[in-house]
Amino acid sequence: MKKLVSPIFVLGSFILIGFTSCTTAQIEQALGTVAQQTGQTGQNGALTQTEVASGLKQALSQGINKGATQASQTDGFYKSSLIRIPFPPDVQRVENTLRTLGLGAEVDKFVLTLNRGAEDAAKSAAPIFLNAIKQLTFSDVWNILRGERDAATQYLKRTTTSQLTSAFSPIMRNSLDKVNATKYYSELVNRYNKIPLVKKADPNLESYATQKAIDGLFTLVAQEEANIRENPIARTTELLKRVFGSRQ
């Protein structure tokens, strides 16, 4: 009979010995107790801190690589109901007015190239995320394991958003130029601004596209994190199976 052991069960054993006052020995003892109860014993009969931390880092790396691969495919953004990037909301009036004037096809072409730019830029996202994972401390691991189903994703948001934005902006700029999104957008805005009596529009397309692309990647990582936590089949390595835990 299958016996599933969730991260919450693992952490429940930790909490019993007092989170704020745990010593290394106590943590290892708690890990060992859980491992013995589930039959998930390491070389010395217990899951070690290193194994738990490595298991979580593997899970995060798996989620990031899968998410970045999915996002960087053709239509990874454009045909996704979760992460498709729409016309910038700050200038929604531009889209509405241009469609009214019969320029809907031009607007659609821009939105397509905008998402193509995000797909192209997503190819460079994984290394930035993976570098943040290397910096995880055991305290970070602990908080993530006892957190919500997207706790790891939220950690990455807190610790990498600024770095991602700085690193991703020039990548996004090049990608938008590469697929002519910048050109099409400038043409649309210039046409709009020539309409009498309208409020002129000139938002920062690069900033908008960068933020939406990063948000989309985090959405995919959160989806994969939840999958690994809840679905034993998604745990592709023995260490993931042991740490996140099921046993035949």
pLDDT of 84-121, one tens digit each? Answer: 999 888 778 888 888 998 988 988 998 999 999 999 88
Residues 118, 186: Cα–Cα separation, whole Å: 18
The 10s digit of each residue's pLDDT in 37-84 is 434 444 545 667 777 778 778 877 877 888 889 999 999 999 999 999
How far apart (Å, rounded) are the C-alpha atoms in residues 228 and 175? 31
- Alpha-carbon span 236 to 248, nearest angstrom: 15
CB atoms within 10 A of CB 50: 10
* Calpha distance 189→241 (Å, rounded): 52
Q: List 55's β-bridge partners, or say none.
A: none
- Nearest residue to 100 via CA among 190, 200, 191, 182: 191
Q: How much is the pTM?
A: 0.70
What is the rounded average pLDDT for all residues in the chain?
75
- The pLDDT-based confidence of 153 (bands split at 50, 70, 90) is confident
Annotated domain spans of the chain: 47-246
Distance CA 145, CA 149 (A): 9
* Residue type at position 29: Q
